Structure 1
Amino acid sequence: MIKTKNVYIDKLTAVTSDGRGLSLSNFYNCLKTLNGTDAVTDGITQMVVDRIEEMERAKGKLSLHTAPDFLEVFQLIFGWVNNLAERKTTAWGVSTPIPSVLFAGTESMYSMLEHTLQPIIDNSSGLFCKNAIVVDNIMYELVLDRLYGIPMTINPYLYEYIDEKGIKKYVQLTVDFSYVSVRPVADLPKIDFSCVNKREMLEEANIQPLLESIHLDNFVFEGFSMLKFTDATVDFVVDRIQEMIADFTQYTRTDFINSLLDKIKSVLDKEDVHCSLFPILYLNGVPILKEGVARNYLLFSDYIDGNLDNIEDHILKYLEAPFVLAYHIHPDFDTKNEYFVGKIQSLGIRSYVCFPLKHQGELVGFLELHTRGDSELSPPILTRLSPLFPVLTLLGYDLRLRFKNKLETVILQHYTALQPAVQWRFNQAAAKYLKDDDNASEILNLERITFTDVYPLYGGVDVKDSTMLRNLAFRKDNKRHLDRLINLMSYLPEERYPDMAALKSFKRKVVQVEAWLSTDNRGEYMHDITAFFQEEVPTFVLTLSWLDSELDKQIKVYAEHLGANYYQDAFETSLQTVNTVISKNIGQLNDFIQSKFPSYFEKFRTDGIEYDFYVGQSISPSIAFNPSLLRLFRRQQLISMAQISRQIGELQDNLQVAMETTQLVFVHPNAIDISFRDDERRFDVEGGYNIRYQMIKKRIDKVLIRGTKERLVQPGKIAVVVQGEAEVSILIEDLLSVAALGLIESHVEELILEELQGVSGLRALRVNVIS
């Protein structure tokens, strides 16, 4: 049923209209043009044309003031443009040419305009710029389309409102300008689009010249526009959930939960419903339920995040063959399984349903819905969820995929970083295992992963006297803590302390700690000193409260410095800075070697960094290995060590604690074998002779020059250890070639090293790095 009433549509436009240009002429002329084209509708069309003529003769021209006199015409227009099925529920109306005043429409249209409609602005679309005013946008589109021959698509407008139940709803407003004409007041202005040429994103300032050339006051808009609201809740929610999935990392968990639940409630048209969505994956054949986008899990709360030690058979069987679980929904729909009914009842909820979510036939998660109190779910409510299941399933799949990716990242970073150079071998072994497993009745084991005849390249960069520096920082910080404690105790009125025996005992402990901090063997007492300040001191300070007002002030001063370890923090910060420089250079060395021949690389972090490269034909069988590469790689090792030493030297002024590094290279002339150790998830040397390489490598960092007390490794120098005479002359040539680059001095020390347990015949070369 149509009624007439003038309502300003401030939800759409920021301006009002006095109704100028309002006319039935365009609609009347359109009908006259159509008349005679369709025998079925000709009679109806002629009736509408005749009635408009009669009404205008009797009432005059249409205006906002005379609109009530044209009620019958508006009813005919409504019937003409809308099919019969829509007439009862359609929110439809007619407005001024540029929609600012609605003067006739259906009851549902006027009811919709009574809501506080908030426009949903899509910054990805729009005519010129993301901040364009809606009404201006409409008028510019009409001018360009009708007068300049530039086709424009006037997109529907989306609005959000809160209905009577307090639920967010979304509607789409379509504006039909079929019966609106546009004409210039004078000559048609020329426009210049050069201001928007070659711009990636148009801002309002960019298009200002264009807007000025199309001044809207120079155009007249005549006729009437038609408005129509349609429910867009489901489509909007589906689109927004898809966008949320795409931008998942941009949300906090709370924001994501709240936004998703609001949208599900909008579709269900029910405010007092709770939901949770969580993914499922299988880890080593065991179903793992993972925390999803809400925390109020019900039926499966005991098993979230892999807590499956005591999983019940009923739950396990359900996970193997899931189905829709329902309680207090409908007698024909409700679950009859006594276990689940009892468990749901024990949770004190009114109604409950759990939907398995499957992606391409594979279970990826569950969606739970439940209500409490007097509120209930019902089959009609649940059917509204049907359009959301595809996107919710996609969300479950995405959550599962994200967890699996994180899981793989953790494994690769912390357990077995399978580098590209050797991953092919693991793939080969796994594929063979799977192939054999198809035809085997007994349990098979993965074959041992071994690489034979590979050449090791070892290097180590260590921070000189790092243990001494760490202990010194520990002593300084704790000496400061002790001095502050002694100062605090000087304010203690001992005669008022309630337990003199305890006070004397604590004073003796203070004297003992002071003695520990003064000895050269304070490293032996680190644990006792730390325990004293972390456990005994806080307990003692608590007993001092309220003994004296001045003492209380000093306690607050003392408390301000608790936990402050200035010297230790300075040491750790400096060490981290040094290791960053070392790691960066070793990373560049790795990039260089990998670019020449795929190789296996391991790095070990201490107070410095050690590394191993393993290079050989078995690492990459598809690429021919030339042994001459070894000399190139060892030369690059020397260059890397020289650069590290120089950069650390240049860094000294920026370090809170001065630190020097020693550089060590070990050249093992013969090939060895390495195998993957399942227990330690890394490669290690294989066989007795090969183990000798590891033994030498671990002992030479503290080796002395024979006949002296001098260590081989020294700051500002590169030490190269080699066993036997064969490699010495080649290494000297390599060192001289690096010296020609200006990185090291050309004088090469040839040194004999002390014998180590089980190792003899070690030689060394040493050079100074040019700072």
Structure 2
Amino acid sequence: MKDHFFTESPFKTLISFHKLIESLEEIAVSDIDYRANYAKALLKEIEPFPEFRSGIENLDLIYKNEKLIQNLLADLFPTALTHNEIKAVTIPFQNFSFNYTERLKKIVKEAGVSFDMSISNLNEYQFYIMNCTLILNEHYGQKIDYNNPLFYDIPNQNGIINQYRILYNADFIEITPTAAVKKLTQDEIDLLIDNYDNIALWKEKFPVNSWILKGFGIAILFDATIESAISKLKSNLLKPEMEQISLQNNFESIFRSIFKNSNLRIGLVIYDTEENKFINTSFNEDGSSGSFILSADQELNCENELLGCSFEKLLETKKPLCISNVEKFALIPGNEKLGNHLLDQNIQSCIFAPIINNNTILGIIELVSSNKRELNSLNARKLDLIIPYLIDTAERHNLDKQHQIDAIIQREYTAIHPSVYWKFRREASKYFETNRQNKDYIFKEIVFKEVYPLYGQIDIQSSSEHRNQTVKQDLINQVSTLIKILDHRELHSSLVVLKQRKFELKSFLNQLQFPLKADTEQQIQLYIENEIHPILNNRESGFTKEISVINYFESLDKKSGMFYHSRKKFDNAVSIINKKLASLLDEKQAEAQLIFPHYYERFKTDGIEHNIYIGASIAPSKTFDILYLHNLRLWQLQIVCEMEMMHHQLKNSLPYELEVASLILVFSSSISIRFRMDEKRFDVDGTYNARYEVVKKRIDKANIKGTKERITAKEKITIVYSHSNEETEYLNYIKFLQFKNILEPTIEQFEVEELQGVSGLKAIRVKVRNDNEILTLKKYSYQDLLNELN
């Protein structure tokens, strides 16, 4: 037997049987002869050990007199109950015990020699505070309920952890202060109650060994394994899904405790009622299947023949499928595939129980064992204790999944930016509350007034020309390949039609030497599909076995049925540019929200466009200042520089080399934006504000006034503006970024040709330095610029 006393305690502990001895002394002088004689004989036996009364400090005295102590405690530990009760003598809250009942001895023996009898959920800090509360309750008349349930975690012979709750009988203990103890005032007690975490304060008021605890306690244990396991399961199921994934082994340990089965393994599948299929939860840490039904499959239709007739019955009756002997089950017609599927995983007995709520199956909990008859219809009843918590988890899983789906839909299809989400939410809340009162509610339009717009784009230059050129190249290659195939076959065939088809293909080839007309691509595609491919696919023509024909068909794009080599390089290049630049813009824009909350949206075309709106109406809880607009303009210019630099470093690795040009439109007047319900997007509101939209749509195709040169140019940023104060502002930004070695020294300034309904526009054009080695630039604020100018 080992002693595991906590090192520090407010008590000096004396293990004493003095109250028991006093009781024996009373019995010894009673009139009941057989009781009196028994008491006298026992008192005589313990007479050589005065420490039994005064208090034992040397534990060796207990170990050497175990039999005598057992006799002394016989009335408290009846022999008739020793194989039933789980009891021992102890000091409350200490990891020290002796005089075990036979049942407790058996439990400890099965646990093994390495097992230490210590309280599982009590540390030294908690131990000290609990002893202090004993003193406060006993001597100061307080009613502090601090004691949490305490447990011994004891493994059985099969390795299953059984949890035993501890109840203390303290009738044979007395607590007395030493002479050094100073009585506490109520204010001091209140201070302690309000400062649980201040162990130094507790030790100041209750110094180590300042009180005497004399006597002994009795620890009464009862098996609370199932209740404790269910409590742990409930706690784990309440955790976020990502944390649950890392708790797979913990879940199995809990289920093994409940079913007292060390071979038990668990799985879980979610049932999709809409599509009538099971979905894997990927429950294991390694991301592998969390199911024994699905195994490596991620989904399984409920009508799949693998499940068989027994599983169909489970879905119909909504009652558990219990298989105590899988080998026998596999011999039943209709169950062969499922039975063999389970046997392949070394499953000999299993329970598949539906998780049901409102008569709807949410999922299936799977319990399997590698031994026959360990799982059966009798112990399946234990699932009645667990299923209610699994229902909550399955419902939460479905709800979380729905929220994620909604988030994806919002992000990918009908995005509402977080900066303006509050206003949509407020309208939706009003609608919800009104509908609860059975009233009609008319949605108010979502309008943000007096906001300042910022527009920018990084456009792939001459994208339409590049696209047409790749289309033409693919058509030329395909038509030339077909002419070669027909040339070769014409030598070995008497088919006159081949000459005619070859002539027609050469006519198309001649057309392709000139600029593409609107219908040229479609015309050639239909001709090849209707006139050429039928000949090549005709077995009697002899084409089908030729390697050149086989290679030709393998070269066709599966969707279009045409050559897609040059176009694929172009499309891939555009896709890479868009993806990289959009990711950079999105990432940096999240940081820009720290300047002042603002609405942001971006679009992928042949390049990237973005709109930003900033103003007091978008964040009414914050105070807006025009300084935030200037900061955001400087941020925008820096981000466009960074996007230009990223493209420069990227373009040499592209499958099709493309150049880009950047544009920023400056508009200093505030405008209003309105959410268009039909288009599910924001647009400018009102006739006056429409001028901004007109300029935005036409400006990138505009020329420098009096020339045929576009205002945008490769690797340069063009800033379009109307007023002199805007010019001054952006020249300051440009000079600052030139000083920071981000922009090149040359600045071009010119007037923009008149657009339809818009005149008086001017522009600044400047080139981004592309010899910077560091792609991610340090972001400078408007205050940095002011500091530099001063």
TM-score (ref. length: structure 2): 0.54
Other-structure match for 2:466: 469
Other-structure match for 2:401: 403
Other-structure match for 1:357: 357
| Alignment CA distance shift 1:711-1:33 (3 Å) | same
- The AA in structure 1 aligned to 2:357 is L
Other-structure match for 2:22: none
Provide Cα deviations, 1:548-582, integer angstroms capped at 9, x if missing partner.
Answer: 89x44444444553437443333233323333443
Is it true that 1:447 corresponds to 2:444 in the alignment?
A: yes
Describe how 1:249-328 pairs up with structure 2 within 5 A.
Answer: 278=271, 292=279, 326=317
3-state SS in 2 of match to 1:755: coil
| Alignment CA distance shift 1:628-1:392 (3 Å) | closer
Other-structure match for 2:742: 743
Distance in 1, matches of 2:633 and 2:393, equals 51
Distance in 2, matches of 1:631 and 1:275, equals 55
Distance in 2, matches of 1:591 and 1:353, equals 46
Residue 431 of structure 1, CA deviation: 3.2
Other-structure match for 2:194: none
Other-structure match for 2:457: 460
| Alignment CA distance shift 1:426-1:327 (3 Å) | closer
| Alignment CA distance shift 1:732-1:92 (3 Å) | closer
Q: Percent identity, aligned pairs only?
A: 23
Alignment root-mean-square deviation, CA: 5.7
Unaligned runs of 5+ in 1: 1-26, 48-79, 84-89, 100-152, 160-169, 175-229, 269-273, 281-286, 298-303, 306-323, 330-351, 371-377
Provide Cα deviations, 1:430-471, integer angstroms capped at 9, x if missing partner.
Answer: 3333444555x5411221111101010111110111222223
Is it true that 1:561 corresponds to 2:548 in the alignment?
A: no
3-state SS in 2 of match to 1:613: strand
Provide Cα deviations, 1:162-217, integer angstroms capped at 9, x if missing partner.
Answer: xxxxxxxx97799xxxxxxxxxxxxxxxxxxxxxxxxxxxxxxxxxxxxxxxxxxx
Distance in 2, matches of 1:630 and 1:673, equals 16
The answer as to whether partners of 2:272 and 2:362 remain within 8 angstroms in 1 is yes
Other-structure match for 2:182: none
Other-structure match for 1:734: 733
Residue 529 of structure 1, CA deviation: 4.4
2:74 to 38, 49, 54: 38
- The AA in structure 2 aligned to 1:741 is K
Distance in 1, matches of 2:736 and 2:319, equals 85
- The AA in structure 2 aligned to 1:650 is Q
Distance in 2, matches of 1:233 and 1:666, equals 69
2:489 to 492, 495, 500: 492
Describe how 1:186-225 pairs up with structure 2 within 5 A.
Answer: none
Provide Cα deviations, 1:129-161, integer angstroms capped at 9, x if missing partner.
Answer: xxxxxxxxxxxxxxxxxxxxxxxx9863797xx
Distance in 1, matches of 2:489 and 2:244, equals 53
Provide Cα deviations, 1:459-505, integer angstroms capped at 9, x if missing partner.
Answer: 111011122222323333443344444444444367668xx476566
3-state SS in 2 of match to 1:518: coil
Other-structure match for 2:477: 480
Distance in 1, matches of 2:442 and 2:277, equals 30
Unaligned runs of 5+ in 2: 1-62, 84-100, 116-151, 164-222, 262-266, 282-290, 294-299, 302-314, 321-351, 367-375, 558-562, 771-790
- The AA in structure 2 aligned to 1:583 is A
Distance in 1, matches of 2:577 and 2:462, equals 14
- The AA in structure 2 aligned to 1:686 is D
Provide Cα deviations, 1:18-54, integer angstroms capped at 9, x if missing partner.
Answer: xxxxxxxxx999778735532597777999xxxxxxx
Distance in 2, matches of 1:648 and 1:447, equals 43
The answer as to whether partners of 2:483 and 2:506 remain within 8 angstroms in 1 is no
Residue 767 of structure 1, CA deviation: 2.4
Other-structure match for 1:3: none
Other-structure match for 1:623: 622
Distance in 2, matches of 1:96 and 1:436, equals 67
Distance in 1, matches of 2:566 and 2:260, equals 60
Distance in 1, matches of 2:572 and 2:762, equals 36
Distance in 2, matches of 1:435 and 1:35, equals 74
| Alignment CA distance shift 1:173-1:705 (3 Å) | closer
Other-structure match for 1:156: 155
- The AA in structure 2 aligned to 1:426 is F
Other-structure match for 1:762: 761
Describe how 1:463-612 pairs up with structure 2 within 5 A.
Answer: 463-492=460-489, 500=495, 503=498, 506-507=501-502, 510-521=505-516, 524-530=519-525, 539-544=534-539, 547=542, 551-563=545-557, 565-587=564-586, 590-612=589-611
| Alignment CA distance shift 1:532-1:692 (3 Å) | same
The answer as to whether partners of 1:452 and 1:673 remain within 8 angstroms in 2 is yes
Other-structure match for 2:679: 680
3-state SS in 1 of match to 2:766: strand
Residue 661 of structure 1, CA deviation: 0.9
3-state SS in 1 of match to 2:688: helix
The answer as to whether partners of 1:646 and 1:769 remain within 8 angstroms in 2 is yes
Provide Cα deviations, 1:96-125, integer angstroms capped at 9, x if missing partner.
Answer: 9899xxxxxxxxxxxxxxxxxxxxxxxxxx
Provide Cα deviations, 1:263-282, integer angstroms capped at 9, x if missing partner.
Answer: 9xx999xxxxx9985367xx
3-state SS in 2 of match to 1:386: helix
- The AA in structure 2 aligned to 1:464 is Q
The answer as to whether partners of 1:292 and 1:399 remain within 8 angstroms in 2 is no
The answer as to whether partners of 2:354 and 2:361 remain within 8 angstroms in 1 is no
Other-structure match for 1:422: 420
Other-structure match for 1:210: none
3-state SS in 2 of match to 1:511: helix
Provide Cα deviations, 1:724-750, integer angstroms capped at 9, x if missing partner.
Answer: 445333333333333332333444333
Other-structure match for 2:50: none
| Alignment CA distance shift 1:96-1:603 (3 Å) | closer
Other-structure match for 1:432: 430
Residue 243 of structure 1, CA deviation: 7.9
Distance in 2, matches of 1:296 and 1:539, equals 50
Distance in 1, matches of 2:549 and 2:231, equals 60
Distance in 2, matches of 1:729 and 1:383, equals 81
- The AA in structure 2 aligned to 1:392 is L
Distance in 2, matches of 1:447 and 1:585, equals 35
Residue 625 of structure 1, CA deviation: 1.3
The answer as to whether partners of 1:602 and 1:611 remain within 8 angstroms in 2 is yes
Distance in 1, matches of 2:269 and 2:666, equals 60
| Alignment CA distance shift 1:327-1:610 (3 Å) | closer
Of 388-397 and 688-697, deviating more is: 388-397
| Alignment CA distance shift 1:28-1:445 (3 Å) | same
The answer as to whether partners of 1:585 and 1:644 remain within 8 angstroms in 2 is yes
| Alignment CA distance shift 1:477-1:238 (3 Å) | farther
3-state SS in 1 of match to 2:714: coil
3-state SS in 2 of match to 1:453: strand
| Alignment CA distance shift 1:436-1:328 (3 Å) | closer
Other-structure match for 1:717: 716
The answer as to whether partners of 1:357 and 1:367 remain within 8 angstroms in 2 is no
| Alignment CA distance shift 1:355-1:574 (3 Å) | closer
Other-structure match for 1:752: 751
| Alignment CA distance shift 1:98-1:749 (3 Å) | closer
Residue 397 of structure 1, CA deviation: 1.5
| Alignment CA distance shift 1:749-1:247 (3 Å) | closer
